[in-house]
Structure 1
Amino acid sequence: MQILSIQSSVAYGHVGNSAAVFPLQRLGHEVWSVNTVHFSNHTGYGAWRGPLLAPDDVRDVIAGIDDRGVLGQADAVLSGYQGDPAVGAVVLDAVARVKELNPAAVYCCDPVMGDVGRGMFVRPGIPEFMRDTAVPAADVVTPNHFELDFLAGTTTTTLEEVLAAVDVVRERGPRDVLVTSVLHDAVPEGHLDVVAVSDAGAWAVTTPLLPLAPNGCGDVTAALYLAHLRTTGSPAEALTLTTGTVFAVLEETLAAGTREIQLVAAQGAIASPPRTFAPRRLR
């Protein structure tokens, strides 16, 4: 599979393309990495250096790929954090061009906006752009629980409410939805659910909640789910493989005692995902 990944990039650590590209390559996929920023490190440190690329510069890189006559060979477009609605427009133009050349291609949008306890952490206008423009254009979306509630315009506290919120999002366009970090009234204490919904049904896995919250896990999750979904054609299988790998990466990170996810150290679990969690069918 060949994937056009339009995301941020850091020299030190793993977020955005610096989190997504290596796992995809380790799975054997070609990745065309287009960076929207190139920072020294992720912004969670509170200080960083490096350029925020202008939307026209991002557009120019994608146009250069098109000049090679290969853009139609892309099987998927992947996007994550978007620092400016103008960059979001560039992403959607790229999606439209890829799909014009290859109607079988899909767009996976990780609608990065915020999280429980942090609220929205993106610039004003980004949440509305995600809800009203980017997500409806996507085939696959991977929000966390907080982001799902915003996209659906609701507050969910039960698994049934989560599924109803997913249905609201799916009615707007995307057929495959993966919801991460799902907390509801029936999940065991110290655990969380990851929920996958498609035309074929809905599934969940329950995983222990480890005592760390490193940056970049959502970027890895979106990339892995896209890859496994397209490779296997099964949301349940993609859910199993993705959660098994991500949990192994988190365990490696916890053992290392670092705030940067240990992708290289855990690469065996990327290439050969452990079946740590069995999915249960919800409907």
Structure 2
Amino acid sequence: MKILSIQSAVAYGHVGNSAAVFPLQRIGVEVLPVYTVNFSNHTGYGAWRGPLIAPEDVREVIAGIEERGAFPGIDAVLSGYQGGEGIADVIVDTVARVKEANPGAIYACDPVMGNAKSGCFVAPAIPDLLRDKVVPVADVITPNQFELGYLTGTSPLDLDSTLASIDLARAMGPATVLVTSVERPDRPEGTIEMLAADEHGAWLVTTPQLPFKANGSGDVTAALFTAHYRSTGSAADALARTASSVFGLLEQTLASGERELQLVESQEHYANPRMEFTTRRVR
């Protein structure tokens, strides 16, 4: 499998492509990473160095990949943090060109905007660009619960309202929706959930909620879910594998006492997930 991944990159720590590429490689996926920013570290530190990559430069890198004849072999395009406003047009054009070369390719969009605790942390124009231009051409989207609400103009909270918001998101274009960081009021205490839905149904997985937030875990989640879903065609299987891998990564990171994801140290969790969490069909 080959994935063209258009995301941010950092030198220190693991977010964007710097979080997504290695787990994908560890499960046997060939990744073609294209960067939208090249920062020293993620912006959660409050200070960082390095450039946003101009949309024309991102387009040039992708054009060079196309000129090497790679597009017919690409199975999925993955996008995450977009940086500048013009990246949306580059992504949409790239998806069209890849699908022209390989009609079996899919596009998975992680609509990175923010979260319930921090609010939006991207440029002001990005959320509307994602909602109006990018998400409608996606086959798979992987928002957190906060981002799902923004995309659909709703306030998903309990299971029924989250499923209703997923239906609205699917009506926008994507056939498959993975919702991360689901915190419904009636979930078991001390847990957090992910919910995946496609035309075949909807499935929920529950894991312990660890007492910390690790930047980049959503990027790993989107990457692994995309690869497993493209490989198996099963949202339930992709959800179970992804939940197991990401929980193992987070558990090992917490035990290390480090702020940044222990991405390399946790590699066995991607290659051989423990599959300790079962999915429950909820529709």
Q: Same fold (TM over 0.5)?
A: yes
Equivalent residue, structure 2, for 1:245: 245
Deviations 1:91-144 (A, max 9, x none): 111111101111110000000001011111111111111111111110000000
My pick for the range that moved more, 216-225 or 113-122, is: 113-122
Q: Is the 8 A contact 2:84 2:123 kept in 1?
A: yes
Where do 5+ consecutive residues of structure 2 fail to align?
A: none
Indicate the SS of the match to 2:86.
helix
Indicate the SS of the match to 2:188.
coil
Displacement of 1:5 in angstroms is: 0.4
4+ residue runs of structure 1 moved beyond 6 angstroms? none
Equivalent residue, structure 2, for 1:52: 52
Which residue identity lines up with residue 123 of structure 2 in the other structure? Answer: R
CA distance in 2, matches of 1:85, 1:189: 40
Which residue identity lines up with residue 4 of structure 1 in the other structure? Answer: L
CA distance in 1, matches of 2:44, 2:124: 19
Indicate the SS of the match to 1:85.
coil
Kindly tell me the number of residue pairs found equivalent between the two proteins: 283
Indicate the SS of the match to 2:246.
helix
CA distance in 2, matches of 1:60, 1:117: 36
Structure 1 segment 56-205 matched on structure 2, within 5 A: 56-205=56-205
Which residue identity lines up with residue 224 of structure 2 in the other structure? Answer: L
CA distance in 1, matches of 2:116, 2:168: 20
Alignment pair present for 1:267 and 2:267: yes
CA distance in 2, matches of 1:172, 1:40: 35
CA distance in 2, matches of 1:120, 1:13: 21
Where do 5+ consecutive residues of structure 1 fail to align?
A: none
Equivalent residue, structure 1, for 2:231: 231
My pick for the range that moved more, 183-192 or 219-228, is: 183-192
CA distance in 2, matches of 1:197, 1:156: 15
Indicate the SS of the match to 2:194.
strand
Displacement of 1:9 in angstroms is: 0.5
Indicate the SS of the match to 2:206.
strand
Query: TM-score w.r.t. structure 1 length?
Result: 0.98
Alignment pair present for 1:12 and 2:37: no
Deviations 1:21-75 (A, max 9, x none): 0000000010001111111111111111112111100000000011111222111
Equivalent residue, structure 1, for 2:30: 30
Query: TM-score w.r.t. structure 2 length?
Result: 0.98
